[in-house]
Structure 1
Amino acid sequence: MLDAALTAAAGGGGVTLALTVTNEGDDPVTLRFRTGQRADFAAFESAGDEGDGPRRGTAGPVWRHGEGRLFTQALGTETLAPGESATYEGTWREPPPGVYLIEGTLTAEEHDAEATATVAVE
Protein backbone atom coordinates (compact mmCIF):
# COMPACT_ATOMS: atom_id res chain seq x y z
CA MET A 1 0.00 0.00 0.00
CA LEU A 2 1.37 3.40 -1.00
CA ASP A 3 0.79 6.58 0.96
CA ALA A 4 1.46 10.03 -0.51
CA ALA A 5 2.10 13.47 0.93
CA LEU A 6 2.51 16.73 -0.99
CA THR A 7 4.28 19.89 0.10
CA ALA A 8 3.93 23.18 -1.78
CA ALA A 9 5.88 26.32 -0.88
CA ALA A 10 5.59 29.67 -2.63
CA GLY A 11 8.57 31.99 -2.83
CA GLY A 12 11.38 33.19 -5.05
CA GLY A 13 9.21 33.58 -8.16
CA GLY A 14 7.68 30.13 -8.06
CA VAL A 15 6.05 27.31 -6.17
CA THR A 16 8.28 24.41 -5.15
CA LEU A 17 6.47 21.06 -5.07
CA ALA A 18 7.47 17.72 -3.56
CA LEU A 19 5.41 14.53 -3.72
CA THR A 20 6.65 11.92 -1.23
CA VAL A 21 5.44 8.36 -1.76
CA THR A 22 5.91 5.84 1.06
CA ASN A 23 5.50 2.06 0.97
CA GLU A 24 3.27 1.43 4.01
CA GLY A 25 2.97 -2.29 3.26
CA ASP A 26 4.92 -5.31 4.45
CA ASP A 27 6.32 -6.25 1.02
CA PRO A 28 8.50 -4.39 -1.49
CA VAL A 29 6.63 -2.42 -4.17
CA THR A 30 8.04 -2.08 -7.68
CA LEU A 31 6.96 1.06 -9.51
CA ARG A 32 6.98 0.84 -13.31
CA PHE A 33 7.11 4.00 -15.41
CA ARG A 34 6.61 4.39 -19.17
CA THR A 35 8.75 7.53 -19.37
CA GLY A 36 11.22 9.54 -17.32
CA GLN A 37 8.32 11.36 -15.68
CA ARG A 38 7.77 10.05 -12.15
CA ALA A 39 5.09 12.46 -10.90
CA ASP A 40 2.76 15.07 -12.29
CA PHE A 41 1.48 18.19 -10.57
CA ALA A 42 -1.60 20.24 -11.47
CA ALA A 43 -2.73 23.59 -10.05
CA PHE A 44 -6.41 24.51 -9.79
CA GLU A 45 -7.97 27.73 -8.59
CA SER A 46 -9.14 27.04 -5.06
CA ALA A 47 -12.88 27.14 -4.39
CA GLY A 48 -12.41 27.41 -0.63
CA ASP A 49 -12.71 24.90 2.17
CA GLU A 50 -15.70 22.60 2.75
CA GLY A 51 -14.96 21.44 6.27
CA ASP A 52 -13.37 18.22 5.04
CA GLY A 53 -10.55 20.12 3.35
CA PRO A 54 -9.89 22.40 0.40
CA ARG A 55 -11.67 21.86 -2.87
CA ARG A 56 -10.87 22.93 -6.39
CA GLY A 57 -12.95 25.09 -8.65
CA THR A 58 -14.94 23.63 -11.52
CA ALA A 59 -12.53 24.79 -14.23
CA GLY A 60 -9.64 22.68 -15.43
CA PRO A 61 -6.09 23.15 -14.24
CA VAL A 62 -4.45 26.54 -14.69
CA TRP A 63 -1.06 24.81 -14.85
CA ARG A 64 0.21 21.26 -15.25
CA HIS A 65 3.84 20.29 -14.69
CA GLY A 66 4.02 17.77 -17.53
CA GLU A 67 2.25 19.89 -20.15
CA GLY A 68 4.53 20.95 -22.97
CA ARG A 69 7.53 19.15 -21.47
CA LEU A 70 9.52 16.33 -22.97
CA PHE A 71 10.48 13.29 -20.90
CA THR A 72 12.82 10.46 -21.81
CA GLN A 73 10.92 7.67 -23.55
CA ALA A 74 12.72 4.87 -21.72
CA LEU A 75 10.91 2.46 -19.44
CA GLY A 76 12.02 2.66 -15.82
CA THR A 77 11.44 0.95 -12.49
CA GLU A 78 12.01 1.83 -8.84
CA THR A 79 11.51 -0.53 -5.92
CA LEU A 80 10.45 0.74 -2.49
CA ALA A 81 11.16 -1.55 0.45
CA PRO A 82 8.63 -1.62 3.31
CA GLY A 83 8.76 1.77 5.04
CA GLU A 84 10.89 3.31 2.29
CA SER A 85 9.98 6.60 0.62
CA ALA A 86 10.77 8.35 -2.66
CA THR A 87 10.30 12.07 -3.29
CA TYR A 88 9.58 13.59 -6.69
CA GLU A 89 9.92 17.34 -7.18
CA GLY A 90 8.67 20.01 -9.52
CA THR A 91 8.53 23.80 -9.78
CA TRP A 92 5.74 26.06 -11.02
CA ARG A 93 7.60 29.13 -12.22
CA GLU A 94 6.04 32.60 -12.02
CA PRO A 95 2.45 31.66 -11.10
CA PRO A 96 -0.11 34.47 -10.99
CA PRO A 97 -1.23 35.65 -7.53
CA GLY A 98 -4.03 33.60 -6.00
CA VAL A 99 -4.88 30.60 -3.87
CA TYR A 100 -4.41 27.24 -5.55
CA LEU A 101 -5.16 23.62 -4.82
CA ILE A 102 -2.23 21.55 -6.04
CA GLU A 103 -2.66 17.87 -6.89
CA GLY A 104 0.40 15.64 -7.03
CA THR A 105 0.04 12.27 -8.75
CA LEU A 106 2.46 9.36 -9.09
CA THR A 107 2.73 8.34 -12.77
CA ALA A 108 3.53 4.64 -12.14
CA GLU A 109 1.56 2.19 -14.27
CA GLU A 110 0.17 -0.21 -11.67
CA HIS A 111 0.12 1.86 -8.47
CA ASP A 112 -1.95 4.89 -7.57
CA ALA A 113 -0.76 7.53 -5.16
CA GLU A 114 -1.88 11.13 -5.00
CA ALA A 115 -2.04 13.96 -2.53
CA THR A 116 -3.16 17.59 -2.41
CA ALA A 117 -1.92 20.79 -0.85
CA THR A 118 -3.07 24.40 -0.87
CA VAL A 119 -0.70 27.27 -1.60
CA ALA A 120 -1.20 31.04 -1.60
CA VAL A 121 0.83 33.02 -4.12
CA GLU A 122 1.24 36.75 -3.47
Structure 2
Amino acid sequence: MLDAALAAAETDDGVTLSLRIENAGPDPVTLDFRTGQRAEFTAYPADGDAADADSDRPDPVWRYGAGRMFTQALGSETIGPGETVGYEGTWRDPPAGTYRIVGEATATDRDVRAAAVVAVE
Protein backbone atom coordinates (compact mmCIF):
# COMPACT_ATOMS: atom_id res chain seq x y z
CA MET A 1 0.00 0.00 0.00
CA LEU A 2 1.43 3.35 -1.03
CA ASP A 3 0.66 6.57 0.84
CA ALA A 4 1.45 9.96 -0.68
CA ALA A 5 1.83 13.44 0.81
CA LEU A 6 2.48 16.72 -0.98
CA ALA A 7 4.10 19.76 0.61
CA ALA A 8 3.87 23.11 -1.20
CA ALA A 9 5.48 26.30 0.06
CA GLU A 10 5.95 29.77 -1.41
CA THR A 11 9.61 30.84 -1.57
CA ASP A 12 11.56 33.62 -3.26
CA ASP A 13 11.94 31.35 -6.33
CA GLY A 14 8.25 30.50 -6.61
CA VAL A 15 6.43 27.51 -5.11
CA THR A 16 8.55 24.55 -4.06
CA LEU A 17 6.86 21.17 -4.25
CA SER A 18 7.78 17.94 -2.52
CA LEU A 19 5.91 14.70 -3.19
CA ARG A 20 6.68 11.92 -0.70
CA ILE A 21 5.55 8.36 -1.33
CA GLU A 22 5.73 5.81 1.49
CA ASN A 23 5.29 2.06 1.22
CA ALA A 24 3.03 1.35 4.19
CA GLY A 25 2.60 -2.29 3.22
CA PRO A 26 4.55 -5.40 4.17
CA ASP A 27 5.96 -6.11 0.69
CA PRO A 28 8.26 -4.18 -1.67
CA VAL A 29 6.48 -2.17 -4.37
CA THR A 30 8.04 -1.41 -7.75
CA LEU A 31 7.14 1.73 -9.64
CA ASP A 32 7.65 1.42 -13.41
CA PHE A 33 8.18 4.54 -15.51
CA ARG A 34 8.01 5.11 -19.27
CA THR A 35 10.32 8.14 -19.22
CA GLY A 36 12.76 9.93 -16.94
CA GLN A 37 9.89 11.95 -15.45
CA ARG A 38 9.03 10.55 -12.04
CA ALA A 39 6.34 12.98 -10.89
CA GLU A 40 3.90 15.48 -12.36
CA PHE A 41 2.71 18.52 -10.47
CA THR A 42 -0.41 20.33 -11.68
CA ALA A 43 -1.83 23.60 -10.31
CA TYR A 44 -5.54 24.44 -10.43
CA PRO A 45 -7.35 27.52 -9.16
CA ALA A 46 -8.58 26.72 -5.64
CA ASP A 47 -12.14 27.93 -6.05
CA GLY A 48 -14.05 26.03 -3.43
CA ASP A 49 -15.51 22.57 -3.89
CA ALA A 50 -15.00 22.44 -7.68
CA ALA A 51 -11.26 21.98 -7.16
CA ASP A 52 -11.93 18.85 -5.10
CA ALA A 53 -13.95 16.83 -7.61
CA ASP A 54 -12.06 15.33 -10.54
CA SER A 55 -15.04 15.65 -12.88
CA ASP A 56 -15.55 19.34 -12.04
CA ARG A 57 -11.88 20.31 -11.89
CA PRO A 58 -11.14 23.52 -13.79
CA ASP A 59 -8.42 23.67 -16.43
CA PRO A 60 -4.91 23.65 -14.98
CA VAL A 61 -3.01 26.92 -14.82
CA TRP A 62 0.38 25.17 -14.74
CA ARG A 63 1.94 21.74 -15.26
CA TYR A 64 5.46 20.88 -14.21
CA GLY A 65 6.10 18.68 -17.27
CA ALA A 66 4.70 21.10 -19.87
CA GLY A 67 7.45 22.21 -22.22
CA ARG A 68 10.07 20.05 -20.50
CA MET A 69 12.01 17.24 -22.07
CA PHE A 70 12.63 13.97 -20.24
CA THR A 71 14.79 11.02 -21.18
CA GLN A 72 12.87 8.49 -23.24
CA ALA A 73 14.06 5.46 -21.33
CA LEU A 74 12.16 2.95 -19.26
CA GLY A 75 13.00 2.90 -15.58
CA SER A 76 11.82 1.60 -12.24
CA GLU A 77 12.21 2.19 -8.52
CA THR A 78 11.48 -0.31 -5.79
CA ILE A 79 10.23 0.97 -2.44
CA GLY A 80 10.76 -1.44 0.44
CA PRO A 81 8.32 -1.81 3.34
CA GLY A 82 8.45 1.33 5.49
CA GLU A 83 10.64 3.18 2.97
CA THR A 84 9.90 6.54 1.39
CA VAL A 85 10.90 8.12 -1.93
CA GLY A 86 10.62 11.78 -2.76
CA TYR A 87 10.25 13.88 -5.88
CA GLU A 88 10.77 17.63 -6.03
CA GLY A 89 9.67 20.42 -8.35
CA THR A 90 9.44 24.21 -8.46
CA TRP A 91 6.76 26.40 -10.01
CA ARG A 92 8.71 29.52 -10.89
CA ASP A 93 7.03 32.94 -10.85
CA PRO A 94 3.40 31.89 -10.34
CA PRO A 95 0.76 34.61 -10.48
CA ALA A 96 -0.79 35.70 -7.18
CA GLY A 97 -3.71 33.57 -6.06
CA THR A 98 -4.68 30.44 -4.21
CA TYR A 99 -4.04 27.12 -5.92
CA ARG A 100 -4.77 23.47 -5.36
CA ILE A 101 -1.69 21.56 -6.49
CA VAL A 102 -1.86 17.86 -7.26
CA GLY A 103 1.35 15.84 -7.23
CA GLU A 104 1.32 12.36 -8.70
CA ALA A 105 3.84 9.68 -9.56
CA THR A 106 4.05 9.10 -13.31
CA ALA A 107 4.40 5.35 -12.74
CA THR A 108 2.40 3.06 -14.98
CA ASP A 109 -0.41 1.05 -13.40
CA ARG A 110 -0.24 3.03 -10.15
CA ASP A 111 -2.49 5.84 -8.97
CA VAL A 112 -0.32 7.56 -6.39
CA ARG A 113 -1.29 11.19 -5.78
CA ALA A 114 -1.68 13.82 -3.12
CA ALA A 115 -2.83 17.44 -3.08
CA ALA A 116 -2.04 20.63 -1.19
CA VAL A 117 -3.33 24.18 -1.24
CA VAL A 118 -0.93 27.09 -1.44
CA ALA A 119 -1.54 30.86 -1.41
CA VAL A 120 0.80 32.93 -3.55
CA GLU A 121 1.12 36.62 -2.74
Question: TM-score w.r.t. structure 2 length?
Answer: 0.92
Matches within 5 A, 1:53-64: 55=52, 58-64=57-63
CA deviations over 1:6-43 (Å, ceiling 9, x no partner): 00000103000000001111100011000000000000
C-alpha contact 1:46 1:100 (8 A) present in aligned 2:
yes
- Gap regions ≥5 residues in structure 1: none
Higher fraction of strand = 1
Corresponding residue for 1:37? 37
Q: Runs ≥4 in structure 1, deviation > 4 angstroms?
A: none
- What one-letter code is carried by the residue in structure 2 that aligns with 1:78? E
Question: TM-score w.r.t. structure 1 length?
Answer: 0.91
Count residues in correspondence. Answer: 118
Corresponding residue for 1:72? 71
- What one-letter code is carried by the residue in structure 2 that aligns with 1:98? G
Identity rate, percent: 58
Corresponding residue for 1:21? 21
**RMSD, matched Cα:** 1.4
- Gap regions ≥5 residues in structure 2: none
Give the Cα separation in 2 of the matches to 1:73 and 1:23: 26
Matches within 5 A, 1:43-122: 43-48=43-48, 55=52, 58-122=57-121
Higher fraction of helix = 2
How much does 1:58 deviate? 4.3
Give the Cα separation in 2 of the matches to 1:38 and 1:89: 9
